[in-house]
Structure 1
Amino acid sequence: MRNRKLLPYETIVQATSGEPEAVHAVLSHYAGYIRYRARSFGNSNSDIEDYIQTKLIESLFKFRFL
Structure 2
Amino acid sequence: MSIDDQEQARQAYQRALEAIHLLRSQAQDRVEAIQGYATRVHRARRLLEDLDRVEDYDRIADGLLAESAGGGQ
Question: TM-score, normalised to structure 1's length?
Answer: 0.31
Task: Specify the structure having the higher radius of gyration (Cα).
Answer: 2
Task: Identify which of structures 1 and 2 has the higher relative contact order when contacts are C-alpha pairs closer than 8 Å and 6+ apart.
Answer: 1
Question: TM-score, normalised to structure 2's length?
Answer: 0.28
